[in-house]
């Protein structure tokens, strides 16, 4: 059976151009504005799964030091075009730094992490943050991991399950909210947004 991570990244490889274009339209920047407001001037930000690079663009334009990353080389190339700088090709599980960032931004990206890996990834994010660092991530709510009609893998967590994964790490603050949104497959979804502080 193909690995869920590979089929998801194969989807983004094939759709890189169209996805980068679609995801730049009518972008809701409320969470990103909140995130930037929580960081100090010139703070260092890691973006996980940056896609077309729209959020990294905004962060750079506001004077933050940004390391944009994505697990798909094709998406990374899309972001490089938008950002005019190198984007690191890195899968979530390859994150391996200590106290290097003031903020980690993972909009609609960790929702693709297999359930069995999520707690370990959160551990890596926690380690990558400096004390007091801010972490934003968002997930499509559900009750069982699986694929969408486009073949992408999602962990589809409930709020309770997600909280259990986050609570395996000692965050000093953890807040979760629900929002409604639309996916690339055109289907309305309930998004769980998670704010955590190291
Ligand atoms: C739904 S898109 C979101 C992109 C961007 N954050 C945005 O808000 O437009 C998910 C992104 O996560 C990336 N991704 C999926 N699985 C990944 C993995 N295992 N490691 C790193 N990135 C991954 C995809 O290539 C894609 O760019």
Structural tokens at position 28? 């809701």
In this structure, what DSSP letter does residue 107 have? T
- Whether 117 lines ligand 1, by a CB cut-off of 6 Å, is no
Q: Is 92 in the pocket of ligand 1 (CB under 6 A)?
A: yes
Pocket lining: 75 vs ligand 1, CB cutoff 6 Å: yes
In angstroms, how far is CA 2 from the centroid of its own chain? 23
Which residue's structure tokens are 């947004």?
Answer: 193
Pocket test residue of 10, 12, 49 for ligand 1, highest count of atoms within 8 A of CB: 49
pLDDT tens digits, one per residue of 75-112: 999 999 999 999 999 999 999 999 999 999 999 999 99
* Ligand 1 atom nearest to CA at 113: 19
Q: What pLDDT sits at residue 143?
A: 94
- Among residues 140, 104, 108, 107, the alpha carbon closest in space to that of 122 is found at 104
- Looking at residue 1, its pLDDT comes to 55
Name the architecture of domain 4-140+151-197.
3-Layer(aba) Sandwich (3.40)
Task: Using the mean position of ligand 1's atoms as its centre, give its distance from the Cα of residue 185 in Å.
Answer: 15
Is the pTM of the predicted complex or chain greater than 0.85? yes
Check residue 198 and give its pLDDT: 98
Mean pLDDT in runs of 10 for the chain (198 residues)?
84 96 92 98 97 98 98 98 98 98 98 98 98 98 94 96 97 96 86 98
Question: In the chain, what are the domain boundaries?
Answer: 4-140+151-197
Q: Which residues pair with 129 in a beta bridge?
A: 101
User: Helix 54-61 to helix 30-38 angle, to the nearest 10 degrees?
Assistant: 40
36 C-alpha vs ligand 1 centroid, how far in Å? 20
The preferred substitution site among 71, 118, 124, 185 for testing ligand 1, maximizing ligand atoms within 8 Å of CB, is 71
């Amino acid at each position: 059976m193909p690995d869920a991570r590979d089929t998801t990244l194969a989807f983004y490889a094939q759709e890189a151009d169209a996805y980068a274009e679609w995801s730049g339209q009518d972008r809701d920047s409320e969470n990103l504005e909140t995130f930037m407001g929580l960081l100090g001037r010139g703070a260092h930000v890691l973006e996980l799964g940056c896609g077309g690079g729209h959020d990294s663009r905004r962060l750079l334009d506001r004077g933050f030091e940004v390391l944009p990353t994505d697990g798909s080389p094709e998406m990374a190339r899309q972001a490089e075009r938008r950002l005019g700088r190198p984007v690191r090709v890195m899968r979530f599980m390859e994150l391996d730094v200590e106290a290097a960032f003031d903020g980690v931004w993972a909009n609609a990206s960790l929702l693709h992490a297999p359930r069995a890996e999520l707690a370990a990834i959160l551990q890596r994010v926690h380690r990558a943050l400096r004390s007091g660092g801010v972490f934003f991530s968002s997930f499509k709510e559900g009750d069982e991991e699986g694929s969408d009609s486009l073949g992408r893998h999602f962990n589809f967590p409930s709020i309770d399950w997600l909280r259990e994964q986050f609570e395996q790490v000692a965050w000093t603050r953890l807040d979760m909210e629900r929002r409604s949104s639309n996916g690339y497959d055109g289907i309305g979804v309930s998004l769980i947004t998670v704010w955590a502080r190291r």
